[in-house]
């Protein structure tokens, strides 16, 4: 009887490994960029078509490979980074598993061109689905060029799981940012569908951050620096007033490798405690240098998670370093125990006693005396000797006559009624709605009583208004006297530019777009100028999380985001007319019972329900 356990063929094993390593085109971008960095390249170019679904190509001027290495690099567990198991705890390079190229070659068409500096000719290799189709010599420049075409061509199910081009491009940009920020001395270029998105020359860390995220980023950054035996921390944190709702600009690099660490993120949030608005996130770009033997990188296929030997000490050091930087640059309030020299006692008065004032009383002074004293007994009361001592009875001359005249006046009598208001005024002042705790609106209905959540109700009203305006492409705008200029990162500007027609249907009017700014000359009617930056930031954040394929879903996302941002907040006082208008507007909606986020907008109590409550 034959056994039931068999060894998997290499191409099947490679496809299984590809499921761990290659999840989307951004995964290919990450692996190829890291290989180019490990090859000691000083200039790296990334070319992407259709967000990487059609083509991901990385061209570098690194060391290159000879004929044997060029063929061997596509085999499983083939790597030049480690030789023995102990090397896993002394890593100084990016890729070390030896599975990336084999996994990529198993699910795509790969074309590689490579040449070493000392060689005259290079190697040109073409692989399709783990099968070598051609290998020949060619005249090539120094370095390596990897072109990955038609990703997941032989796994249609995996290709169907890919998102829209906008979403996949955002993931590609994320990986590009992470590698470019970790290595500012290397020049990077990113080209998407023939247009150049980034051209980053070699620079320092601060210049690289500003180049990637816009010129206004420079004034937001606060430097952080700390050097201990356990860890060396350098980098920047953003000022609290520039915090956002999204967590886009948060980067940890350990030994020039991007990582995700909720534990270290909590240390940053603890350092910003009391400085951020509720729900806001700080931006930070922190570079940690630790001894390689104190960390374990080999715990996750994507190598974005790291295990530290002494996490508690790193937490305390990181928190203190960030808190010290915020206080040092007067970003956060601190206690100043330095002595003010102006409050010190002068030297010549050091041993001198205080002078006490002397008080003298004129014992012979009589305010009712008929004659003026001949001479005051002291100079302190000298002002009295010049006062004429008139007869005090003269003060009451004519008082009796004035009193008789006042008594002759007649006053209009006032009729006292039994109620504070008459019947007519009482009816005119009757309320139809009441606001409770500046959160709920209570209104009487035929069957009993209605209690409405003012925020959710307003969200439903605004949502249907924005959705209608987007659908019919007619929205009223309020023109600004002076255009408003807002600054965003490069990918945020690109996202706004792509969604410009839909956003303008809500009432916005965009004048010009630049690399890191947008000029706005018109706003929706319900929006104040001070709310524009907040609304657009939340809108960008919602769009970046997920942009559906259909235009209706995009319109729905924009309408929901703007309704959530502009709806009246809980704790806002509403006048009687505002309360009634909100109630009437809600019941004029198509779906008044639920908010755009599937939450109930109101609840009702019948008279029978109230009777039962009182019958207990």
Task: Map out the domains of the chain with their CATH numbers.
Answer: 10-200 (3.30.565.10), 206-328 (3.30.230.10), 436-604 (3.30.1370.100)
Q: Put residue 303 in one of left, alpha, beta given phi > 0 → left and psi -120 to 50 → alpha.
A: left
Q: Identify the three-state secondary structure at position 245.
A: coil
Helix (H) / strand (E) element for 146: namely strand 143-149
Q: Are 470 and 559 spatial neighbours (Cβ–Cβ below 8 Å)?
A: yes
Three-state DSSP at 315 gives helix
How many other CB atoms sit within 10 Å of the CB of residue 81?
Answer: 16
Express each pLDDT in 449-486 by its tens digit.
889 999 999 999 999 888 888 887 777 788 888 888 88
Q: Which pLDDT does position 527 carry in this prediction?
A: 81
Q: What is the DSSP string of 16-72?
A: HHHHHH-SSHHHHHHHHHHHHHHTT-SEEEEEEEGGGTSEEEEEE-S----HHHHHH
pLDDT along the chain (616 residues), means of 10: 68 61 86 89 94 92 87 72 52 60 87 91 89 89 92 84 82 91 94 90 92 84 90 92 81 89 90 84 91 71 72 90 85 57 60 76 76 49 47 61 58 50 42 84 87 92 87 80 85 82 86 85 83 83 62 75 86 88 89 89 88 81
pTM score, whole prediction: 0.67
H or E element in which residue 523 lies = strand 517-524
Percent of the chain with pLDDT over 90: 22
Q: At 191, phi and psi to the nearest 5?
A: -125, 125
pLDDT on residue 392:
57
């Amino acid at each position: 009887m034959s056994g039931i356990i068999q060894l998997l063929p290499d191409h099947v094993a490679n496809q299984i490994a590809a499921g761990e390593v290659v999840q989307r085109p951004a995964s290919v971008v990450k692996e190829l960029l890291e290989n180019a960095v490990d090859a000691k390249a000083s200039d790296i170019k990334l070319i992407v078509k259709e967000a990487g679904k059609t083509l991901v190509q990385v061209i570098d001027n690194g060391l290159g490979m000879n004929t044997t290495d060029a063929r061997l690099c596509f085999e499983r567990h083939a790597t030049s980074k480690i030789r023995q198991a102990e090397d896993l705890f002394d890593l100084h390079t990016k890729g070390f598993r030896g599975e990336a190229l084999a996994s990529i070659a198993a699910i795509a068409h790969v074309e590689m061109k490579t040449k070493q500096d000392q060689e005259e000719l290079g190697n040109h290799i073409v692989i399709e689905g783990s099968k070598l189709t051609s290998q020949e010599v060619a005249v090539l420049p120094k370095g390596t060029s990897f072109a990955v075409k038609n990703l997941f061509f032989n796994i249609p199910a995996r290709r169907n799981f890919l998102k829209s081009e906008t979403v996949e491009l955002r993931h590609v940009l994320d990986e590009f940012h992470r590698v470019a920020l970790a290595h500012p001395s290397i020049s990077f270029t990113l080209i998407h569908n023939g247009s150049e998105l980034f051209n980053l020359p070699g620079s320092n860390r601060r210049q690289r951050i500003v180049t990637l995220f816009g010129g206004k980023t420079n004034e937001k950054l606060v430097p952080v620096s700390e050097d201990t035996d356990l860890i060396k921390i350098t980098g920047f944190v953003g000022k609290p007033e520039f915090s956002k709702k999204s967590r886009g600009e948060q980067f940890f690099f350990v030994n020039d490798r991007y990582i995700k660490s909720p534990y270290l993120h909590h240390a940053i949030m603890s350092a910003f405690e009391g400085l951020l608005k509720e729900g806001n996130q700080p931006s930070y770009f922190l570079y940690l240098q630790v001894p390689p033997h104190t960390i374990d990188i080999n715990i996750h296929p994507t190598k974005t998670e790291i295990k530290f030997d002494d996490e508690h000490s790193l937490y305390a050091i990181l928190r203190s370093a960030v808190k010290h930087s915020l206080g040092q640059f007067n970003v956060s309030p601190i206690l100043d125990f330095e002595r003010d020299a102006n409050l010190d006692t002068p030297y010549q008065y050091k041993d001198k006693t205080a002078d006490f004032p002397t008080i003298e009383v004129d014992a012979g002074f009589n305010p009712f005396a008929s004659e003026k004293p001949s001479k005051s007994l002291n100079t302190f009361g000298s002002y009295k000797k010049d006062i004429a001592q008139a007869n005090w009875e003269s003060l009451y001359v004519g008082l009796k006559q004035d009193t008789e005249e006042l008594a002759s006046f007649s006053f209009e009598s006032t009729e006292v009624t039994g109620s504070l208001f008459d019947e007519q005024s009482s009816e005119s002042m009757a309320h139809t709605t009441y606001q409770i705790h500046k959160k709920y609106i209570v209104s009487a209905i035929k069957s009993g009583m209605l209690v409405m959540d003012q925020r959710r109700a307003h969200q439903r009203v605004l949502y249907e208004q924005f959705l209608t305006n987007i659908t019919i492409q007619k929205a009223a705008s309020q023109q600004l006297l002076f255009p408003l200029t807002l600054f965003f990162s490069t990918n945020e500007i690109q996202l706004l530019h792509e969604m410009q027609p839909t956003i303008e249907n809500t009432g916005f009017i965009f004048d010009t777009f630049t690399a890191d700014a947008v000029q706005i000359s018109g706003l929706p009617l319900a929006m104040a100028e001070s709310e524009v930056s907040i609304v657009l930031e939340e809108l960008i954040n919602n769009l970046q999380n997920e942009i559906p394929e259909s235009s209706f879903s995009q319109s729905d996302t924009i309408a929901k985001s703007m309704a959530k941002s502009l709806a009246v907040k809980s704790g806002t006082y509403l006048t009687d007319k505002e309360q009634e208008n909100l109630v009437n507007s809600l019941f004029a909606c198509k779906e008044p019972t639920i908010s755009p986020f599937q939450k109930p907008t109101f609840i009702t109590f019948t008279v029978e329900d109230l009777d039962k409550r009182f019958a207990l």
